[in-house]
C-alpha cells in the first residue's frame, strides 16, 4: 500500500492504494527503443519525436534575446544538433559539460541556428548503454510528482501480493466472447499488467494508439460500468412516481385557450416534439427528455406549452436558464403569453433585493406561484416548491449534472418526482448520446420556422475593419439592426471591458447619427436590461456587446453581426452568437473578423464555421477539439468522464458494450453490482443524472 499521509503528493493524483495505482494507466508511451542518427532526423524534422546520442562539443550561455543555454552535440556519424533551454539550472550545465556523452529525446525543429531541439529530455549515458527493449509508459502527473515517483509507486503496487486478487475475473467469459466475437481479450489482470509493462512481443503501435487487446479489455470494462449505471438509473426512474397528465389539453384550461390563439402555426417538427412531450407527461413516471434544436428553431414555445399543461393539472412549473438575460427573455415572452390568461409568472434571480427574493420564495412555497422563471437562484437555499410538476432547464449543458439534480430535489413531496424537460442548442454527438445521455429521451427540432434564410458567413481580415463599418451603415439604412461582438479576452475581464468601451466609442465617432448601445457583463442587471430593451425596441441600432449576448437573445430585425477576433472563440460560441441573426426574413450576414496570424487550428475552425451552419457538424468538431467534459457541462465532475475510451472513434465498441450490459443485467445481476463497485466506487452518483 502507498502511504496514506496527506503530504504525499501521490494522494493528489488520487493514488491512495495499490488498486488506485494499478488503475492509473499510462496516458501515453514513449518509444525509446530506437536511436536515430542526427543526419537522418535533421532531414525529417518537424515530423516526429526522435532520440539521438552524441558528445557535447560546445556549451554556451547566451543573453540574446534572453538568457538561455545552448548545447551542441555531435554523433559518431558527424551530425551536429543544437539543444536549447530557456531556463536551466547550474546542475544541467554540469551534466552537459563539453565531452559528456548524452542520449537526447525531443522534437526537432528549424531553429535560429539550424535544426534544434528545445528542452529535450537528456540522459548522460555511456555510448554503448543499451536501449530499452519496450515502450516507456508516461503517466499523468501533477506538479511535484515526477514520472519516476509514479513509476516507483506503481512498481511497488505490483509487488503487493494481494493485488492480483483484486482484479479477479468476474465477467462471464461466454457472454464476453459472444458480444465481442472479433476480439481476443486478455484477462483483466493481464491487461492491466501489459499496459503498465508492455513487453517486447507486444505490438507497439496498438499499445500507443489504444487499440491493443489489453486496451480493448479496459475500455470495455469502463464503458460497461457506465452503461450498467445508466441503465440502473433508468430502471430507478421508471419506478418513480410523477404526476400523470392527460394526453389532451384540459377543457377550458389555459393550454387550450392558448392553442386557440397561438401567435404562429407550429412547424411540423415542433408539432412532433410537442406530441412526444405530451406522451411523456401522460406517463406515471418522470419524464427525462432532452429537446434539441438549433438556435432559433423555436424551443421556447414547447417549454411554454408544457408549462401550461402542467399548470392546468394544478402543479407548478419552473424554467431555469443559465444567465439572467436569457431567463429574462423567457420571462418576458411567457409573461406576455400567460398574463392575458391570468397567470403571473414568478421571477427569481440572484440579483433581486432581499425582500423581493423573500416574496418570490413565499409564492413558490405556498403554491400560488404557478410558473417560476429564473436562474441558478432557483436551486439555492430557501427555495422550496409546494408541488413542482415540471422542471424545464434551458441550455442544459451550461449547468452541471449536480445542479440539474438539485432542481428536481426542490420539491416538498418525496414520493412524487417532477418531470424534466431539458433544452439545448448544442447538439449531442451520437457517441455522447449513447454513453452519457443514455437515460435521456431525445427530441429534435430539425426544422426552422418558415421564412428564414440561412446566414451568410464571411471571413474578413481585421485590417479591413473600415470597409466593414461602411457596409454596416448600408444595413442600417435599410432599417436593420446590428450586433458588434467584442473579442473574448479570457485572461482579463477588465481588458475585455476596455475593448468593448473603445469599440463603442470608435463606432459612435465613425457614425455620429447612429444610435449605438453597449452591453457587457459588468453592468448591473437593470442597466443591462434597459440596454437590451432599447435594442429589442429598435431604439438602439448597433449593439456593441461582450459575449453576454451569447444565448437566447431574440431580435428578428437584427441582420448583421460582426465578431471581432473571431479566432479567439470556440466552435459553439460562434455558432451560438451567429444564431442571434437570421431570425427574421431578411438575408443575414455574420462577419468574422480575424487577425492574420492564425494558428492552423483556428484557420480550420473559421473555415468550417464559414462553410456550415449545421449544429451537428459543429458539435462533432467541438467534441473532437475539447473532449466531452465541456459539452456535458460537467467539468466539475471530471472524474465521471470515460478515461480510456475515445468517444470520437468507438461507436462500435460502445454499441457492443451496451449489448453486454443488457445481457449481464438480465442474466447476472450480481455481477453487474460487483463490476460497478470495482469501477466507479464513489463516483457512481454522477452518472445517475
Ligand atoms: P430557440 O430554439 O433558439 O430558443 P426561440 O424559441 O427563441 O428559439 O424561437 C426563435 C424565434 O422564432 C422566436 O422569435 C419565436 O417566436 C419564433 N418562432 C418559434 N416558432 C415559430 C413558428 N412555428 N413560426 C414562426 N415563428 C416561430
Ligand atoms: Mg432559446
Q: Is there an atom of ligand 1 within 6 Å of 330 CB?
A: no
Averaged pLDDT score across all residues of the chain:
87
Stretch(es) of the chain classified as CATH 2.40.50.140: 34-131
pLDDT band at 44 (very low <50, low <70, confident <90, very high): low
For position 5, what pLDDT does the model report? 44
Is 456-612 a CATH 3.40.50.300 domain?
Answer: yes
pLDDT band at 637 (very low <50, low <70, confident <90, very high): very low
Q: Is there an atom of ligand 1 within 6 Å of 267 CB?
A: yes
pLDDT band at 629 (very low <50, low <70, confident <90, very high): low
Q: Which pTM was predicted? A: 0.71
Site to probe by mutation for ligand 1, drawn from 258, 293, 298 as the one with most ligand atoms within 8 Å of Cβ, is 298
pLDDT digits (tens, 9 = 90+) for 325-361: 788 889 989 999 999 999 999 999 988 999 999 999 9
Site to probe by mutation for ligand 1, drawn from 263, 449, 450, 552 as the one with most ligand atoms within 8 Å of Cβ, is 449
Expressed in angstroms and rounded, the spacing between residue 295 Cα and the centre of ligand 2 is 7
**Nearest CA residue ID for atom 18, ligand 1:** 298
34-131 CATH, one of 3.90.105.10, 2.40.50.140, 1.10.760.10, 3.40.50.720: 2.40.50.140
Expressed in angstroms and rounded, the spacing between residue 525 Cα and the centre of ligand 2 is 19
Angle at 247 between CA 244 and CA 252, to 5 degrees: 100
pLDDT digits (tens, 9 = 90+) for 450-480: 877 889 999 999 999 899 999 999 999 999 9
Expressed in angstroms and rounded, the spacing between residue 326 Cα and the centre of ligand 2 is 8
**Nearest CA residue ID for atom 15, ligand 1:** 298
**Nearest CA residue ID for atom 26, ligand 1:** 449
Stretch(es) of the chain classified as CATH 3.40.50.300: 254-445, 456-612
pLDDT digits (tens, 9 = 90+) for 407-425: 777 776 677 889 999 998 8
Element (H, E) at 235: helix 213-238
Measured in whole angstroms, how far is the alpha carbon of residue 9 from the centre of its chain?
28
Q: Is there an atom of ligand 1 within 6 Å of 293 CB?
A: yes
User: Which residue did the predictor score with more confidence, 451 or 83?
Assistant: 83
**Residue 517: CB atoms within 10 Å:** 20
φ, ψ at 174 (rounded to 5°): -65, -40
Cα separation, 373 vs 367, in Å, equals: 14
Cα separation, 67 vs 84, in Å, equals: 11
For position 636, what pLDDT does the model report? 37
**Nearest CA residue ID for atom 16, ligand 1:** 298
Q: Is there an atom of ligand 1 within 6 Å of 273 CB?
A: no
**Nearest CA residue ID for atom 14, ligand 1:** 554
Q: Is there an atom of ligand 1 within 6 Å of 406 CB?
A: no
Q: Is there an atom of ligand 1 within 6 Å of 583 CB?
A: yes
Q: Is the pLDDT of residue 1 over 80?
A: no
Expressed in angstroms and rounded, the spacing between residue 150 Cα and the centre of ligand 2 is 47
**Nearest CA residue ID for atom 27, ligand 1:** 449
Q: What is the mean pLDDT of residues 491-502?
A: 80
Q: Is there an atom of ligand 1 within 6 Å of 298 CB?
A: yes
Contact call for residues 322 and 475 (beta carbons, < 8 A): no
Q: Is there an atom of ligand 1 within 6 Å of 264 CB?
A: yes
**Nearest CA residue ID for atom 17, ligand 1:** 298
Enter the C-alpha cell of residue 211: 487499440
Q: Considering every ligand atom, which ligand is closest to the CA of 325?
A: 2
Q: Which atom of ligand 1 is nearest to the CA of 451?
A: 25
Q: Considering every ligand atom, which ligand is closest to the CA of 326?
A: 2
Cα separation, 398 vs 426, in Å, equals: 10
Q: Is there an atom of ligand 1 within 6 Å of 300 CB?
A: yes
For position 627, what pLDDT does the model report? 64
Q: Is there an atom of ligand 1 within 6 Å of 262 CB?
A: no
For position 328, what pLDDT does the model report? 85
Q: Is the pLDDT of residue 57 over 50?
A: yes
Contact call for residues 10 and 145 (beta carbons, < 8 A): yes
- For 242, 266, 280, 295, 502, the CA distances from 443, given in Å and listed in that order, are 20, 15, 11, 15, 43
- The superfamily CATH assigns to domain 254-445 is P-loop containing nucleotide triphosphate hydrolases (3.40.50.300)
User: Which residue did the predictor score with more confidence, 7 or 45?
Assistant: 7
Non-local CB neighbours of 467 within 8 Å, separated by 6+ positions: 460
**Nearest CA residue ID for atom 10, ligand 1:** 296
- For 400, 403, 436, 488, 683, the CA distances from 634, given in Å and listed in that order, are 5, 10, 11, 22, 13
- Ordered alpha helix ranges (H), 540-668: 571-578, 600-611, 615-626, 628-632, 651-667
Q: Is the pLDDT of residue 220 over 60?
A: yes
Expressed in angstroms and rounded, the spacing between residue 366 Cα and the centre of ligand 1 is 33
Q: Is the pLDDT of residue 566 over 90?
A: yes
pLDDT digits (tens, 9 = 90+) for 161-206: 999 998 999 999 999 999 999 999 999 999 999 999 999 888 989 9
Expressed in angstroms and rounded, the spacing between residue 65 Cα and the centre of ligand 2 is 52
pLDDT digits (tens, 9 = 90+) for 261-282: 998 999 999 999 999 999 999 9
φ, ψ at 590 (rounded to 5°): -120, 120
Q: Is the pLDDT of residue 546 over 60?
A: yes
Expressed in angstroms and rounded, the spacing between residue 382 Cα and the centre of ligand 1 is 34
CA proximity to 394, closest of 524, 473, 466, 303: 303
Contact call for residues 105 and 125 (beta carbons, < 8 A): no
For position 681, what pLDDT does the model report? 65
Cα separation, 649 vs 665, in Å, equals: 26
pLDDT band at 641 (very low <50, low <70, confident <90, very high): low
Angle at 314 between CA 311 and CA 316, to 5 degrees: 55
Q: Considering every ligand atom, which ligand is closest to the CA of 445?
A: 1
**Nearest CA residue ID for atom 25, ligand 1:** 449
Cα separation, 418 vs 316, in Å, equals: 10
Q: Is the pLDDT of residue 35 over 90?
A: yes
Q: What percent of the chain has a predicted confidence (pLDDT) above 90? A: 52
Q: Is there an atom of ligand 1 within 6 Å of 558 CB?
A: no
Q: Is the pLDDT of residue 683 over 50?
A: no
Q: Is there an atom of ligand 1 within 6 Å of 266 CB?
A: yes
For position 552, what pLDDT does the model report? 53
CA proximity to 130, closest of 148, 150, 103: 103
Instruction: List the shell of residues around ion ligand 2, using CB closer than 5 Å.
Output: 552
Q: Is the pLDDT of residue 638 over 50?
A: no
pLDDT band at 611 (very low <50, low <70, confident <90, very high): very high
Expressed in angstroms and rounded, the spacing between residue 666 Cα and the centre of ligand 1 is 44
Expressed in angstroms and rounded, the spacing between residue 681 Cα and the centre of ligand 1 is 44
Q: Considering every ligand atom, which ligand is closest to the CA of 292?
A: 1
Q: Is the dihedral of CA 585, 517, 606, 479 positive or negative?
A: positive
3-state DSSP: the chain helix, strand, coil percent, rounded to 5?
Answer: 45, 20, 40
Cα separation, 482 vs 545, in Å, equals: 11
Q: Is there an atom of ligand 1 within 6 Å of 578 CB?
A: no
**Residue 352: CB atoms within 10 Å:** 17
Q: Which atom of ligand 1 is nearest to the CA of 297?
A: 2
Residue 135: helix, strand or coil by DSSP? coil
Non-local CB neighbours of 362 within 8 Å, separated by 6+ positions: none
pLDDT digits (tens, 9 = 90+) for 366-408: 999 999 999 989 988 889 999 999 999 998 777 766 676 677 7
Q: Is there an atom of ligand 1 within 6 Å of 345 CB?
A: no
Residue 266: helix, strand or coil by DSSP? coil
Q: Which atom of ligand 1 is nearest to the CA of 300?
A: 6
User: Which residue did the predictor score with more confidence, 250 or 295?
Assistant: 250
Q: Is the pLDDT of residue 130 over 60?
A: yes
Residue 552, phi-psi category: left (phi > 0), alpha (psi -120 to 50), beta (remainder):
left
Amino acid at each position: 500500500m502507498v502511504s496514506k499521509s496527506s503530504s504525499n503528493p501521490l494522494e493528489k493524483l488520487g493514488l491512495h492504494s495499490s488498486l488506485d495505482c494499478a488503475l492509473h494507466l499510462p496516458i501515453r508511451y514513449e518509444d525509446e527503443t530506437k536511436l536515430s542518427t542526427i543526419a537522418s532526423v535533421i532531414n525529417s524534422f518537424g515530423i516526429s519525436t526522435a532520440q539521438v546520442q552524441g558528445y557535447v562539443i560546445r556549451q554556451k550561455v547566451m543573453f540574446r534575446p534572453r538568457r538561455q543555454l545552448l548545447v551542441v552535440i555531435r554523433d559518431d556519424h558527424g551530425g551536429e544538433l543544437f539543444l536549447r533551454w530557456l531556463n536551466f539550472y547550474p546542475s544541467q550545465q554540469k551534466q552537459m559539460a563539453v565531452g559528456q556523452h548524452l542520449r537526447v529525446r525531443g522534437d526537432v525543429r528549424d531553429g535560429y541556428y539550424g535544426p534544434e531541439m528545445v528542452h529535450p529530455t537528456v540522459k548522460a549515458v555511456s555510448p554503448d548503454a543499451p536501449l530499452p527493449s519496450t515502450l516507456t509508459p508516461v503517466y499523468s502527473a501533477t506538479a511535484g510528482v515526477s514520472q519516476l515517483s509514479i513509476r516507483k509507486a506503481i512498481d511497488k503496487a505490483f509487488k503487493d501480493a494481494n493485488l492480483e486478487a483484486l482484479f479477479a475475473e468476474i465477467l462471464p467469459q461466454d457472454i464476453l466472447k459472444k458480444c465481442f466475437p472479433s476480439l481476443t481479450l486478455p484477462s483483466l489482470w493481464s491487461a492491466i499488467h501489459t499496459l503498465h509493462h508492455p513487453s517486447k512481443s507486444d505490438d507497439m503501435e496498438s499499445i500507443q494508439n489504444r487499440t491493443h487487446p489489453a486496451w480493448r479489455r479496459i475500455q470495455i470494462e469502463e464503458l460497461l460500468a457506465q452503461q450498467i449505471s445508466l441503465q440502473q438509473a433508468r430502471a430507478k426512474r421508471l419506478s418513480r412516481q410523477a404526476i400523470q397528465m392527460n394526453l389532451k389539453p384540459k377543457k377550458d384550461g389555459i393550454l387550450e385557450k392558448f392553442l386557440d390563439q397561438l401567435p404562429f402555426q407550429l412547424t411540423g417538427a415542433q408539432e412532433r416534439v410537442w406530441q412526444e412531450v405530451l406522451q411523456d407527461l401522460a406517463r406515471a413516471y418522470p419524464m427525462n427528455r432532452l429537446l434539441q434544436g438549433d438556435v432559433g428553431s423555436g424551443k421556447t414555445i414547447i417549454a411554454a406549452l408544457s408549462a401550461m399543461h402542467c399548470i392546468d393539472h394544478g402543479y407548478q412549473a419552473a424554467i431555469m436558464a443559465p444567465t439572467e438575460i436569457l431567463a429574462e427573455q423567457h420571462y418576458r415572452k411567457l409573461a406576455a403569453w400567460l398574463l392575458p390568461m391570468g397567470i403571473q409568472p414568478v421571477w427569481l434571480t440572484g440579483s433581486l433585493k432581499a425582500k423581493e427574493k423573500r416574496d418570490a420564495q413565499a409564492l413558490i412555497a405556498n403554491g400560488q406561484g404557478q410558473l417560476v422563471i429564473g436562474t441558478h437562484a432557483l436551486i439555492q437555499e430557501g427555495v422550496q416548491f409546494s408541488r413542482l410538476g415540471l422542471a424545464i432547464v434551458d441550455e442544459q449543458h451550461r449547468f452541471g449534472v449536480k445542479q440539474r439534480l438539485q432542481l428536481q430535489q426542490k420539491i416538498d413531496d418525496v414520493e412524487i418526482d417532477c418531470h424534466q424537460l431539458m433544452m439545448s442548442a448544442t447538439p449531442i454527438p451520437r457517441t455522447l448520446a449513447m454513453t452519457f445521455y443514455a437515460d435521456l429521451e431525445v427530441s429534435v427540432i430539425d426544422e426552422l420556422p418558415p421564412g428564414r434564410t440561412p446566414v451568410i458567413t464571411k471571413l474578413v481580415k481585421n485590417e479591413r475593419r473600415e470597409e466593414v463599418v461602411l457596409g454596416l451603415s448600408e444595413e442600417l439604412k435599410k432599417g436593420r439592426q446590428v450586433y458588434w461582438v467584442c473579442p473574448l479576452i479570457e485572461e482579463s475581464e477588465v481588458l475585455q471591458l476596455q475593448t468593448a468601451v473603445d469599440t463603442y466609442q470608435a463606432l459612435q465617432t465613425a457614425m455620429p447619427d447612429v444610435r449605438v448601445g453597449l452591453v457587457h457583463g459588468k453592468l448591473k442587471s437593470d442597466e443591462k436590461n434597459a440596454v437590451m430593451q432599447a435594442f429589442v425596441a429598435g431604439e438602439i441600432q448597433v449593439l456593441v456587446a461582450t459575449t453576454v449576448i451569447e444565448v437566447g437573445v431574440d431580435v428578428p430585425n437584427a441582420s448583421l453581426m460582426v465578431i471581432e477576433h473571431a479566432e479567439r472563440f470556440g466552435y459553439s460560441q460562434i455558432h451560438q452568437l451567429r444564431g442571434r441573426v437570421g431570425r427574421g426574413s431578411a438575408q443575414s450576414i455574420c462577419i468574422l473578423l480575424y487577425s492574420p496570424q492564425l494558428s492552423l487550428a483556428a484557420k480550420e475552425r473559421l473555415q468550417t464555421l464559414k462553410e456550415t451552419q449545421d449544429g451537428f457538424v459543429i458539435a462533432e468538431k467541438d467534441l473532437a477539439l475539447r473532449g466531452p467534459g465541456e459539452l456535458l457541462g460537467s467539468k466539475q465532475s471530471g472524474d465521471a468522464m470515460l478515461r480510456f475510451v475515445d468517444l470520437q472513434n468507438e461507436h462500435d465498441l460502445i454499441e457492443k458494450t451496451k449489448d453486454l450490459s443488457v445481457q449481464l443485467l438480465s442474466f447476472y445481476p450480481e455481477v453487474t453490482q460487483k463490476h460497478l463497485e470495482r469501477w466507479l466506487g464513489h463516483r457512481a452518483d454522477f452518472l445517475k443524472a
